[in-house]
Amino acid sequence: MTFYIVADPPDGSPVCSVEPALNYTFLKLICSWPGGFPSPDLQWKGGLLDQLNSQESSAILLPSGGLIPNNSLFTCVGSHPALKQQTECSTRTLLPPAEPLCFAYVTNSQQYLMLSCSWDGGAPKALVWWEGPGGQSKGGQENSNILVLRYGTARSGKPYTCYAQHPLLLQPKTCRLTLEAPVLLTQRRVVSVYEGTDVQLTCNLRANYLPVNEITWFNNRGADIQDTSKYMLLRTSAWANLTVRNADETQDSGEYRCSTSNAVGGAEINVTLLVKKYPMPPNATLIRVMYNSRQRQQVEAEWQVESGEDGGWTGFFLEYRKVSERPGKRGGSNGSQETVEGSGTSQVWYRITIQDPETRSHTVYGLIPTITYQFRITAINYLTFGHPSAGKTPAEQKDDVYPAVIGAAVGGMIVAAILVALLLVYIVRNRNNNPRLHDLLFGSQHSRSRENINFPEDEVVDRSERENNDNNESPNPGKRKIPHLRHIHTNLKLSQNGTEICTRHR
């Protein structure tokens, strides 16, 4: 009887791998090719493995100890009687490409603190474990490891060390986390500004490894600050800046607190805000307050600024209030007015803001005629107010007849002068019709001289009269010659257009 043995080849091809052994101090090369009859023959080759030639060589241990270089190649050759050709597989030993990475984070519920360490890559994989203070440690795991701590139990200032071991290395690599409470910094611990301005307070987180909660600001009264019309917050995970709008000395001066915390502890920093007033402006005094009409609806106010060593000023407050009510005139013609019973001085001052520092007068409109007001003036320097002046009641508008009398007198004198001038002209031009009046005002000799000058024909008549007089005085008194008298009458008339018309009668 004859027996035949049938060889059955294994499926596929060999599979090679490398794994750590003996607490990551040795390398274990594994070559497997399952199936087949009889079992395939497997043998490692390359480097230190050339001397091995045995079926038992499918899994061998290699001491590392730094003797095997990085990126070493190992090949496993498999053969089987049913196969004409050998089949092989290869594997390499590799170190992870980077250094171990450590970081910490907090869960959303803030119940746990997670310390994570990883060293990815490499063949075989590295072993990672944690060692911390007070027994807060965790055993090794491949590639990555997470140490879970309850929130608030971490040790501040103590290092937590992550160890990463690889068979190709003699000593493990490490990375450390030193958990600390947050440290806050600010640019200025004391900030000083003038009131009425916006001021910014800064708060920065010094870099550390552990995340913190949101940075919070508290105002000078200890209240948590949110975005409002008074405050504005700008913040990120690393800083938070607070802006105080329109700073006021009374409301905003004081200590402001910036605070935050993490899983280890909390921190805060105080910033002092000093809001200063502008220098006190000089005093202003009302010099005239008067109604500008008899209707008592408008008041004109004038003031002056006292000189001194005080600061400057940026404007004025002109204020007025009701003093009493005067419903109307009562009694005689003296114009006296009575105050309504039960009405008193109002404590409410109505304010008019005058922003021009050069202004020295202002007119107030819309006043009630039956009410008596009191006015005062105050100089201001931004938000610093000076001392109000003494209150002053407007003076009544009086009837002043002196300018009218002066005007009438001057007008009468001008009219009289014109009339006198016209009368004199008339008398001069009509001196023959009114000789007595003419002689009374100017004298006869003056009248004669005026005639001789104005009318040359009179010179002929005058010469004839003189000749006649000489003849009358001649030595022959018995013979008297009567001269031929020529009477010349000259009348002056004024035409409608004022032109002088001379009419002579002989």
486 — pLDDT class (breaks 50, 70, 90): very low
Q: Do 162 and 222 have their domain in common?
A: no
How large is the average pLDDT for residues 254-263? 93
Cα→Cα distances 89→31, 52, 62, 170, 292, Å: 8, 17, 18, 28, 116
Q: Identify whether 7 is part of a domain.
A: no
Return the pLDDT at 163.
94
Q: Identify whether 235 is part of a domain.
A: yes
More confident residue, 331 or 419: 419
Return the pLDDT at 311.
64
More confident residue, 28 or 498: 28
Return the pLDDT at 402.
66
Cα first-last separation, the chain: 211
Q: Supply the pTM of this predicted model.
A: 0.52
Return the pLDDT at 294.
84
Separation CA 480–CA 466 (nearest Å): 15
Domain with residue 234: its CATH number is: 2.60.40.10
Structural domain for 464, as ranges: 420-469+483-505
Helices (H) and strands (E) in the chain, counts: 5, 31
Separation CA 185–CA 423 (nearest Å): 105
Give the three-state DSSP class for 245. coil
Q: What is the pLDDT of residues 70-94, one digit of tens each?
A: 888 888 888 888 888 899 999 988 9
Q: Do 292 and 377 have their domain in common?
A: yes
Q: Identify whether 27 is part of a domain.
A: yes
Q: Do 288 and 380 have their domain in common?
A: yes
Q: Do 124 and 51 have their domain in common?
A: no
Report CA 167 to chain centroid distance, whole Å. 66
Return the pLDDT at 206.
86
Q: Identify whether 412 is part of a domain.
A: no
Cα→Cα distances 429→146, 490, 494, 503, Å: 138, 11, 9, 13
Exposure on the CB side of residue 5, measured as CA atoms within 13 A: 6
Beta bridge partners of 218: 224, 257
User: How many domains does the chain contain in total?
Assistant: 5
Q: What is the pLDDT of residues 428-439, one digit of tens each?
A: 777 777 777 767
Q: Both tokens of residue 233?
A: 């917050």
Return the pLDDT at 49.
63
Q: Identify whether 400 is part of a domain.
A: no
Interstrand relation of 350-354 and 315-325 (parallel, antiparallel or unpaired): antiparallel
Q: What is the pLDDT of residues 188-246, one digit of tens each?
A: 999 999 999 999 999 999 876 567 788 999 999 999 999 999 999 999 888 999 999 99
Return the pLDDT at 339.
36
Say yes or no to pLDDT of 119 above 80: yes
